[in-house]
Structures are given as structure tokens and as C-alpha cells.
């Protein structure tokens, strides 16, 4: 295995705890970039053996994510948000990619299952926009666009392959309250350009 899990966070230790618990047995290192949390983020990182770096939140997701990439030391990165986690079935597929790496310029998009009202998150009526593919598994040399929001990975010069849905997906859960907060923050960031 030669995989780093990387993520950014800010005051979301309970969601981060689930991500790290889900991932720690499958990766060589965990990199968490914290934007200045005042909750138990540091304690959660220590509990799961994550390397935590503090970088003050500058209202720019791309900058934070690229900082996390600079701290990663493995050849392959799985980049997840703190409110996401992988279905266990997907890890084996990722290990096969790493094992069979021939040095090609390739990155992988993973389907995302977006659920709301997490209490019953597997209920089909709570699944939105599926499949929703995002590049989340890639080689260390790749970088995110340094945009405040919608900061996807820069795939210039790389072939993007979609991982078939039957191998697993990213589970992304949000409560309606989380979504409202995110919508307000995104609007503020968009408006700050003007």
C-alpha cells in the first residue's frame, strides 16, 4: 500500500471521527489540515494516528486542499471531505490500482452517494444526484485549482477513469442544517469576489 488519506476540516470533529475510523486501517498515512478548530479535532486526530497541520482558514478551499497535498508523502492520494467516507468494498479496488500502477498519467473519479437526513441515510428517497462522479483518487503530483469554491482537481494532462459503481462509492451525508450552513458560506465566498 502506498496511499495517503488527505482532508481539510474546521470544527467538525464528529464527522471527522467517522471518516478517520472508516479509513485508518486502509491507508499508510492520514493528513488532516485544520483551519483553526476550537472543538476536539486535535484529540480525534491523535486517537486515529493522523498527522494534523493547522493552516488558518483563508476562505479558499483550493488553497487548503493543496496545503494538505504538500504534507502527503505517499504516491497515491485519496482526498475526502470530513463528511464523507468510502464504502468498504471500494478499498480493494484502490489497492489493485496501486499494485498495478505502471506510471501512467491517470486519475480516478469515484461515484458519490449524496444522502440527506442521515438518521435513515440508506433510504432511497434520501439519495440525490447518483451517480455523481468526482476525481478523488490521484497521484501526489496533481493539484487542486486554487478557487475559493468548486475547487476540483486539475486534470490537465491526465486521463480520468471512472471507477465502476459496482466496486463502491463515496458516502456523503449532510443534514439539512449542514446544507443550509454550506449554502450560506458558498454565497458569501461567491459574493466576496465582487
Q: How confident is the model at residue 127 (pLDDT cuts 50, 70, 90)?
A: low
Predicted local confidence at residue 194, as pLDDT: 45
Beta bridge partners of 161: 108
pLDDT tens-digit profile of 138-188? Answer: 999 999 998 777 788 999 999 999 999 999 999 887 765 665 665 555 565
User: What is residue 51's predicted lDDT score, i.e. its pLDDT?
Assistant: 98
Q: Taking the CA atoms of the chain, what radius of gyration do you get in angstroms?
A: 16
What gap in Å lies between CA 84 and CA 144, rounded to an integer? 18
H helix intervals, 3-146: 13-23, 41-47, 61-71, 88-99
Strand partners, 41: none
Q: Match 486539475 to its residue by C-alpha cell.
A: 154
What pLDDT, on the 0 to 100 scale, is given for residue 178?
63
Backbone φ/ψ region at 164: left (φ over 0), alpha (ψ -120 to 50), beta? beta
Per-residue pLDDT, averaged over 111-124, amounts to 66
**What's the length of the chain?**
194
> How far apart, in whole angstroms, are the C-alpha atoms of residue 86 and residue 118?
15
**What is the reported pLDDT for 36?**
94
| pLDDT of amino acid 132 | 84
CATH number of 3-191: 3.90.550.10
Partners of 98 in the beta sheet?
none
Supply the pLDDT for residue 175: 63
Tell me how far apart the alpha carbons of residues 129 and 112 are, in angstroms, rounded to a whole number. 8
Amino acid at each position: 500500500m502506498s496511499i495517503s488519506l488527505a482532508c481539510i476540516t474546521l470544527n467538525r470533529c464528529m464527522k471527522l471521527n467517522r471518516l478517520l475510523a472508516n479509513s485508518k486501517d486502509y491507508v499508510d498515512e492520514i493528513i488532516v489540515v485544520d483551519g483553526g478548530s476550537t472543538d476536539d479535532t486535535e484529540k480525534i486526530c491523535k486517537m486515529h494516528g493522523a498527522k494534523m497541520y493547522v493552516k488558518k482558514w483563508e476562505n479558499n478551499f483550493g488553497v487548503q486542499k493543496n496545503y494538505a497535498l504538500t504534507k502527503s508523502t505517499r504516491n497515491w492520494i485519496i482526498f475526502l471531505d470530513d463528511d464523507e467516507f468510502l464504502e468498504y468494498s471500494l478499498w480493494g479496488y484502490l489497492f489493485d490500482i496501486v499494485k498495478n500502477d505502471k506510471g501512467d498519467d491517470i486519475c480516478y473519479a469515484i461515484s458519490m452517494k449524496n444522502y440527506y437526513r442521515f438518521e435513515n441515510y440508506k433510504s432511497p428517497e434520501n439519495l440525490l444526484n447518483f451517480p455523481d462522479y468526482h476525481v478523488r483518487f490521484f497521484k501526489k503530483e496533481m493539484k487542486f485549482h486554487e478557487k475559493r469554491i468548486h475547487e476540483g482537481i486539475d486534470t490537465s494532462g491526465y486521463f480520468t477513469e471512472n471507477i465502476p459503481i459496482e466496486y463502491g462509492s463515496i458516502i456523503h451525508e449532510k443534514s439539512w442544517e449542514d446544507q443550509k450552513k454550506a449554502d450560506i458560506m458558498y454565497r458569501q465566498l461567491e459574493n466576496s469576489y465582487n
